[in-house]
Homo-oligomer: A and B are copies of this chain.
Amino acid sequence: MTTPRLWSFRTSPYSGKVRSAFLEKDVPLELVEIHVAKRPPRLKELSHPGRVPVLELPNGVIRESSLICEWLEEAHPEPPLWPADLVLRGWARGWAMWLDTTVTADYFLGMRKWAYGKAQDDPDDIVEQLHGRLPRRWVILEEALGAHEGPWLAGDTFTYADLSGMPVAIRMPEWTAHLVPDPAAFPRIAAWFTALRERPSAVGIDAHGDEVLSA
């Protein structure tokens, strides 16, 4: 095996972010599609809780999407996907983390519970609770998008922070148009979502490999 191999599934936002990151770098990636309800034994060896994405390399394994992106940046520095300025880089890393753990987590966890059912100890309105957090996130995100000149979060350089917004920018209009922030109230988010959807690497969000059930 020489091509890095990503264990992922099509609708996983963190897997999608990594698939798009590899497209940005033009680094070949083999995709292994897993079935969420029947995770292959090999995946459980690679990642103890059986979580994806996991990147399998000839000499080891990298777990967790933001850590896979850090590996990608160091192993394949060109084109850079972090700003050269270290303080701006720290700022961009902060927004990548914020997007991953708030907007993306709330939206996709809500969608998963809507599609597959809530957990036993979830309140009845768990989906509404999760999606109900989004409007106050938009206020914070709109302000963050005003910190630099755009079109991207850190200014004219496209970074991993933008990639962290890509899963929501692609899936939200497709799955739940009523949750998309109002362009009149959030013009910077609207422009950013459009720019993300038009980015060639956006096809990574929907990319998938052959399904492996028993690898």
Contacts and interface: CB of A to CB of B under 8 A. Distances in A.
A87 interface: yes
Interface string A81-103: 00000111111011001000000
A178 interface: no
Contacts of A97: 64, 67
A91 B60 contact: yes
A184 interface: no
Contacts of A60: 87-88, 90-91
Given A48-B140, A94-B64, A97-B64, A59 B87 contact: yes
A70 interface: yes
A71 interface: yes
Interface string A45-81: 0001000000101011111100110110011000000
A70 B57 contact: no
Measured as residues with beta carbon below 8 angstroms from the partner, the interface class of chain A is 20 to 34
Nearest to A58: B87
A122 to B, nearest CB: 14
Nearest to A63: B94
A86 B93 CA distance: 19
Contacts of A71: 86-87, 89-90
A94 B57 CA distance: 15
B86 A75 contact: yes
A57 B94 CA distance: 15
Interface of A: 48, 55, 57, 59-64, 67-68, 70-71, 74-75, 86-91, 93-94, 97, 140
11 contacts: A48-B140, A57-B87, A62-B90, A62-B91, A64-B94, A68-B90, A70-B70, A70-B93, A71-B86, A71-B87, A74-B89
